[in-house]
Chain A
């Protein structure tokens, strides 16, 4: 196009020139011969004509071009408002129009460019703000976590005192009403503790700072135990309770029993909350056998109100219940399921639910365990009260109330105690002490000013002089991962505050009887309870030899020492002569039956010895008869091993 225009412009200029020159020469040839003047005039005329032609050319072409050059310079200098004013219809006019159009376009582009630059700047600013916000959030998060940990510690410490002193108070002279009040204080305190635990657990899980325990435990006993705890919540409702234990699930597994307890109890408590009648059951199945252990599927099944389809997904989200009216009606933090889900995730399992509104719910979760070994076969032989007498215990805690509770509990079972307000004081004392006056055990708080419990443990473990001393962490920060961390620092056992009297005694007795290496898995209160049956003396009263044999086989598995009587009279004689911690008494026996024998024992021999009835009868009247005679509890036949263990654990304390 451009070339074509240029060519046509060239021809036009040529035409102008020819139009001027050719007529001039023709006229010159005509007039030449006649007159020189004429010649001169004609030359002048044609020169003038030439000038005029040049002028026309200059006017038509050169000026507009100059105009355009000036415009180009102005535009390139940035003045985009400048316009070329050439109003001709020829190519130069078109050129000028094009130029003006181009400048307009450039003006548009400039506007767009400015917008772009603005946007880029904005984005950079936003990014900076975002980065700052992120940093702020991270700081705030850290501060929040620390705040939560601090607050929970601060709340727990006085709660520990409230619960501890209520317990101490209830063992003094109080009447029934006062005892009831004290029980209310205790149970309210426990609810408060569990709420604080939820909040702290959640924040720890959210931060991804979770270390799991990895210890051998009796899964059967755990499920039974948790079930009995949850059952208290629905025992007044018409609800059938059951545990369906697939026989392929092994009794002993290795994993984190505390977390399994927490999850199972959460699901069971929910079932208890939302079920008014029908049944609540726990169903265990072997999901698959992995090379390093079994994967177990747990299911908590209820016949309660169920969960509508659209609420199922939301249910495992944090702070969420089916709806807010649920919170008002049934209470709870709404964190339970979220915590359970996160815990199962951390353990490498899965959580899901099957439910229909109005038709009950089934909450499933799976946990891959490692193969477990019975704790009874490990070299831990809890000390008896007699064996513990006069052992020396250092109690270390910066809170005088906590110190007092710990030392009181210790003194009650005959331990000698020395109290320290700080880890530094305790350590100085240890360094000064000769081998003879070193303590057998140190109960140490974890969070203390100047030197904390972990530091104390590390210092003690780094000195061979102290290698016989057992260390028990007693902590108000006892939440997820605490036990594993304490083990790392050199503690042998781990106990959460508020300290429960029996837990403390069981843990002390287990730790003092622990002959395993220092690096052996830490003893928690549940481990202590598991092996708490080891070495206890049980009197079994049953007239049938094969029943005696079976009972002996079971009690052997728990590590108990069993003795036998074949009728009520023999039982009375044996109890008079020997020290038993518990008696399992058949109800139907020749000579003197269990009911009559118990009446005599209660009247003449022992008011306190726990006596558990063994009975095939499950009629209410029969059970009332055993109770009236002074029996503490009952076990139904056919005898079930997990139930037997649970009942023994319930009554046997160190």
Chain B
């Protein structure tokens, strides 16, 4: 979906407002990814799942589909305690956030 379509879907949200919110979302997600790295190393699966869930939530609201999907994968693998899978998903998600 292109940006104009997303804006329409969001009730004609002004583009600059959308851009600003997307920037905050990236910023938050970068902070979360840093924390996530530590949490994953500690194998705290519950906290990791929650963190991924939060990233998924903000990305979903903004229709950032690829981040949403990657965060969703990470949420599941973390909640299931699949260390290797979670690490792979974490890397994939990190790639998507500038």
Binding site for B on A (CB under 8 A): 220, 245, 247-248, 250-251, 544-547, 549-550, 553-554, 557, 588, 616, 637-639, 641-642
A616–B53 alpha-carbon span in the complex (Å): 9
Binding site for A on B (CB under 8 A): 4-5, 8-14, 17-18, 20-22, 24-25, 28, 50, 53-54, 56-58, 60-63, 68
Q: Report the minimal beta-carbon distance from A587 to chain B, rounded to whole angstroms.
A: 11
* Contact A637 B11, beta carbon cutoff 8 Å: no
A545–B32 alpha-carbon span in the complex (Å): 13
Residue of A nearest to B58 (CB): A546
Interface centre among A220, A546, A616 (most CB of B within 10 A): A546
**Chain B residues near A544 (CB, 8 Å)?**
28, 54, 57-58
**Chain A residues near B60 (CB, 8 Å)?**
616, 637-638
**Chain A residues near B20 (CB, 8 Å)?**
549
The one of A248, A250, A251, A638 that contacts B61, using a Cβ cutoff of 8 Å: A638
**Chain B residues near A220 (CB, 8 Å)?**
11
* Contact B56 A616, beta carbon cutoff 8 Å: yes
Q: Report the minimal beta-carbon distance from A220 to chain B, rounded to whole angstroms.
A: 7
- The 6 lowest CB-CB distance pairs between A and B, nearest first, are A638-B60, A247-B8, A641-B11, A546-B25, A546-B24, A247-B5
20 more A-B contacts (CB under 8 A) besides A251-B12, A549-B24? Answer: A245-B9, A247-B4, A544-B57, A545-B24, A546-B22, A546-B24, A546-B28, A547-B57, A547-B58, A549-B21, A553-B18, A553-B21, A554-B10, A557-B11, A557-B12, A588-B50, A616-B60, A641-B9, A641-B10, A641-B11
Residue of B nearest to A639 (CB): B61
Q: Report the minimal beta-carbon distance from A373 to chain B, rounded to whole angstroms.
A: 12
* Contact B54 A553, beta carbon cutoff 8 Å: no
**Chain B residues near A546 (CB, 8 Å)?**
21-22, 24-25, 28, 58, 61-62
A554–B57 alpha-carbon span in the complex (Å): 16
**Chain A residues near B22 (CB, 8 Å)?**
546
A637–B62 alpha-carbon span in the complex (Å): 11
The one of A251, A550, A641 that contacts B62, using a Cβ cutoff of 8 Å: A550
**Chain A residues near B13 (CB, 8 Å)?**
553-554, 557
**Chain A residues near B28 (CB, 8 Å)?**
544-546
A546–B61 alpha-carbon span in the complex (Å): 9
**Chain A residues near B4 (CB, 8 Å)?**
247
Residue of B nearest to A558 (CB): B11
* Contact A642 B11, beta carbon cutoff 8 Å: yes
A247–B9 alpha-carbon span in the complex (Å): 6
A638–B56 alpha-carbon span in the complex (Å): 9
**Chain B residues near A550 (CB, 8 Å)?**
21, 58, 61-62
* Contact A637 B12, beta carbon cutoff 8 Å: no
A637–B9 alpha-carbon span in the complex (Å): 14
The one of A247, A616, A642 that contacts B57, using a Cβ cutoff of 8 Å: A616
**Chain A residues near B62 (CB, 8 Å)?**
546, 550
A248–B12 alpha-carbon span in the complex (Å): 10
**Chain B residues near A642 (CB, 8 Å)?**
11
